[in-house]
Amino acid sequence: MDWALFWEWLIKSLVVIFTLLGGFAYLTLYERRLLARIQVRIGPNRAGPQGLLQPIADAVKLIFKEELTPARVYRAVFFLAPVVTMVPSIVIAAVIPWGTSFTLGGRTITLYLADINVGVLYLMSVASIAVYGIVMAGWSSNNKYAMLGGLRSSAQMISYELTLGLMFVVAILMGNSMRMIDIVEAQGEMWFGVIQPIGFLLLFLTTLAEVNRHPFDMPEAEQELTAGYHTEYSGMKFALFFMAEYQKMIVVSMIGASLFLGGYREFWFLRDTFLSVDRAWFLGPVYLFAKVIVLLGVMIWVRATWPRIRYDRLMALGWKIFLPLSLYLVFVTAIGIILEAYWLITLLSVLGGLVAVAVIYVDLRRKYYARA
């Protein structure tokens, strides 16, 4: 057994796990402070300097909070559901590269945990598992509100994962590979998000639906379902659901950055400078971290400004707008690659996006005048 390889994998696994756990904790602080800034409030600033110890205070509170288990829940599934939801949010990060490699003690250390030649397929497979935990939580709670939240989650997952999968196909076509590192390296000349802006926007919106964030947080919907699938959960079991949602926010931001924003690669105009990742390997994680922070900031901005979409319109948007548009984008991307005309991909995708916006506008106007 190669013990050096074993210890390398173990250390990198711990780095991924603790990065996501620490990222989850301080993402809550980032969200609360940014929401306060947007809404002209102060936000948490009492626990530690500038509120930096607030996540630790929240963790201590949750650890000591009393856990209540309703009498008529299906206990085995009720206890298992938070774990089934949380574990995929960590496991999915295994194939996301954070950088290139460096040499230490005569050994080449790669800045990724697993290099799978079907890495994108792995992402799609693991991302689909988390919804089972939500459905299990809704069913096992033996509560009508929780059950409705679980059913909404499954319907939403089916609707939006079709579009999400097709946006992965767009990245695969442009990168000519299902390997994550190949897709990132293919963006050295130009980010796929610049070539296919509507595809990147569609990926971002569908990932919002995947992680149940505003304006697609229908499985929780406090005003309608009093918290939805996790209504009956408290204490650390609730914290696991909370942790899973924020870790999935980080992971989907890493996926979006890797597939459409160059991942750990620098801006294309910095490729041959001293800020290139090829010349300074340690800049790879820095670039990826910066892109993830920006994407998370946009997610929080959306939460602060957009109202929740009505459920029937949420489903109609997924099936009637996003799915046809994503099929069109796959077709346009394939045509542009065959003709070796990337400008054509950009032009036709933007036109398709404008047509989709026009269709949504006309439909909303029609429904408005029908009610009037």
pLDDT of residue 294: 92
- Is 37 strand, coil or helix? helix
Q: Are 251 and 93 in contact (CB under 8 A)?
A: yes
pLDDT of residue 1: 58
Write out the chain's pLDDT in tens, 372 residues.
567 777 878 888 888 888 888 888 888 888 888 888 888 888 888 887 888 888 888 888 877 877 777 778 787 888 888 888 888 888 888 888 888 877 777 777 888 888 888 888 888 888 778 778 778 887 887 887 777 777 777 777 778 888 888 989 999 988 888 888 888 888 878 888 888 999 899 999 888 888 878 787 766 666 666 667 777 777 777 788 788 888 888 888 999 998 898 888 888 777 777 778 777 788 888 888 999 999 999 999 988 888 877 777 888 888 888 888 999 999 999 998 888 888 888 898 889 888 888 888 887 777 666 665
Using CA atoms of 335, 336, 340, 342 in order, give the dihedral in degrees to the nearest 10: 180
Other C-beta atoms closer than 10 Å to the C-beta of 108 total 8
N- to C-terminal Cα distance for the chain?
74
pLDDT of residue 226: 67
Contacts with 240 (C-beta within 8 Å, 6 or more apart), sequence order: 82, 83, 85, 86
Residue 110's φ and ψ, nearest 5 degrees, are: -90, 145
